[in-house]
Structure 1
């Protein structure tokens, strides 16, 4: 499973922090680093996609 999808599920409340770490196969310190990294990626606005044209 894609790590960003697992982290998104954690942020939405579908997973606990422990479950998220188990799925990703990382320890708590590594998970905290991944969460910070994903958060910094989300602060950069993605490009807008046009559908149909």
Structure 2
């Protein structure tokens, strides 16, 4: 199972933090940091401006 899916399941309340840690095979302290990093990563992705296609050209 993908780590992001497990963390998303935890954030949505489908599993507990302990279950999340057991599935990922990590301890509580590391798990807390992983979840926090995941949240920050999602926030950064939402703030990135959309990129225009590289091969787009406006030939007029």
* TM-score clears 0.5: yes
* Residues paired across the two proteins, number: 48
> Are 1:33 and 2:24 counterparts?
no
Per the alignment, residue 51 of structure 1 pairs with none
Bigger Rg over Cα: 2
- Runs of 4+ aligned structure 1 residues displaced above 4 Å come to none
TM-score (norm 1): 0.82
RMSD over aligned Cα atoms: 1.5
Unpaired segments of 5 or more residues in structure 2? Answer: 51-60
Paired with 1:36 and 1:14, the residues of 2 have a C-alpha distance of 18
The residue aligned with 1:2 is: 2
1:32 is paired with a residue of what secondary structure?
A: helix
Return the TM-score normalized by structure 2. 0.73
Unaligned runs of 5+ in 1: 49-53
